[in-house]
Amino acid sequence: MEAPRLAHTMSSPTSPCEEVIKNLSLEAIQLCDRDGNKSQDSGIAEMEELPVPHNIKISNITCDSFKISWDMDSKSKDRITHYFIDLNKKENKNSNKFKHKDVPTKLVAKAVPLPMTVRGHWFLSPRTEYTVAVQTASKQVDGDYVVSEWSEIIEFCTADYSKVHLTQLLEKAEVIAGRMLKLSVFYRNQHKEYFDYIREHHGNAMQPSVKDNSGSHGSPISGKLEGIFFSCNTEFNTGKPPQDSPYGRYRFEVAAEKLFNPNTNLYFGDFYCMYTAYHYVILVIAPVGSPGDEFCKQRLPQLNIQDNKFLTCNEEDGVMVYHHAQDVILEVIYTDPVDLSLGTVAEITGHQLMSLSTANAKKDPSCKTCNISVGR
């Protein structure tokens, strides 16, 4: 779900945007649009000669903030009291472009030294393309504004969640992880044709592929990390993998120690739900020093493989013992190829429950359990 525009939240005097704007010394008013068409009650005076911003620069981009600066002619520069910033999500060419002209989408900031930080998760979402244009303005004694022409329109894209944001997600996931249950295998369900293709075209080795866009919109692994998805959850009453799966009737099972051991690192990747009561946690297992390990080291919180709330590996009496969290559904990404000879492929006896598929699943942005207070 897209984060609401600033315009959509301004009608209420108790809007969350007011708090964001107040923190930035910003105020919102009805302004003329980029084409110079004024709102009927805008309260803006006739345009006079004020310097027009040019050479707009966007820097220090995060998932919910950015810095903006520009150049201006020195003429009348000392008359500038405010900056008007028009910030909009970049329209999809195929989207419904209905937009009321009189709805303000502008931010008004007091004229401060540049670059100026624009911050606020109520109108900025991670990994989202925006357009921005700027006016200079001079506030008159009667409250009206004299404004310059709009600058050129600049495009930019906000960033992914940082490690700080992911650590916040991690802490929320730890709260509901529940007690730990034993496991012995990792498993991957696919259709028979998938395994036939692996044998014929990839020398019996499953190959990593780019992760889809399921989960949190700001997740740094979506569309970037290459890996192979595995499951490890077990049924409470049997201690074995469930017989149902949404991904196909054929299952590859491999002993847990083949993929997860002291020679691998474990990372937290995401925490989300899909408008359901149960939640998913994405973990990444990467062989030490591998390309996947280097990718994760820079972007994801690393977990202690012996002591964490989701998936553990410990040696007891010379034997490796594994446990997984009971109250979340774990999706494990292994970042290297996996040869089918390491395990077995067999047909499951249960049903193919497509409703449980997480392929490109969208996260519920209203869930208080798995969202953090930054851009969705």
CATH code: domain of residue 105 = 2.60.40.10
- Do 224 and 306 sit in the same domain of this protein? yes
Of 116, 131, 158, the residue that ends a domain is 158
Average pLDDT over residues 29-36: 45
Residue 82 maps to a domain: yes
Is pLDDT above 60 for 23?
A: no
- Do 76 and 133 sit in the same domain of this protein? yes
Average pLDDT over residues 94-120: 68
| pLDDT of 291 | 95
| pLDDT of 143 | 85
- Do 153 and 167 sit in the same domain of this protein? no
Cβ neighbours for 267, distance < 8 A, ≥ 6 positions apart: 283, 284, 286, 296, 300, 301, 302, 303
Is pLDDT above 90 for 324?
A: yes
Q: Tell me which DSSP letter residue 49 carries.
A: -
Average pLDDT over residues 68-90: 89
| pLDDT of 121 | 57
| pLDDT of 307 | 96
Is pLDDT above 90 for 323?
A: yes
- Do 140 and 241 sit in the same domain of this protein? no
Q: Tell me which DSSP letter residue 3 carries.
A: P
Residue 313 maps to a domain: yes
Percentage of the chain surpassing pLDDT 90? 57
- Do 167 and 130 sit in the same domain of this protein? no
Average pLDDT over residues 103-122: 79
- Do 187 and 330 sit in the same domain of this protein? yes
Residue 169 and residue 370 in contact, taking contact as beta carbons nearer than 8 Å: yes
Of 124, 158, 192, the residue that ends a domain is 158
Domain that holds residue 110: 54-158
Residue 357 maps to a domain: no
Residue 17 maps to a domain: no
Long-range contacts of 353-356 (CB under 8 A, 24+ apart): 353/244, 353/245, 353/246, 354/246, 355/246, 356/244, 356/245, 356/246
Of 126, 158, 190, the residue that ends a domain is 158
- When pLDDT is cut at 50, 70 and 90, the band that residue 366 belongs to is confident
| pLDDT of 313 | 96
Is pLDDT above 90 for 225?
A: yes
Residue 270 maps to a domain: yes
- Do 194 and 254 sit in the same domain of this protein? yes
- Do 143 and 194 sit in the same domain of this protein? no
Residue 117 maps to a domain: yes
Is pLDDT above 50 for 38?
A: no
Residue 44 maps to a domain: no
Residue 27 maps to a domain: no
Average pLDDT over residues 249-259: 95
| pLDDT of 358 | 63
- Do 231 and 280 sit in the same domain of this protein? yes
- Do 178 and 311 sit in the same domain of this protein? yes
- Do 130 and 235 sit in the same domain of this protein? no
- Do 199 and 132 sit in the same domain of this protein? no
The number of folded domains in the chain is: 2
Average pLDDT over residues 163-187: 95
Please provide the average confidence, as pLDDT, over all residues in the chain: 82
For 277-301, b/e burial (b = at least 16 CB within 10 A) is eebbbbbbbbbeeeebbebbeebbb
Is pLDDT above 70 for 39?
A: no
* d(C-alpha 170, C-alpha 151), whole Å: 41
Q: End-to-end alpha-carbon separation of the chain, Å?
A: 8
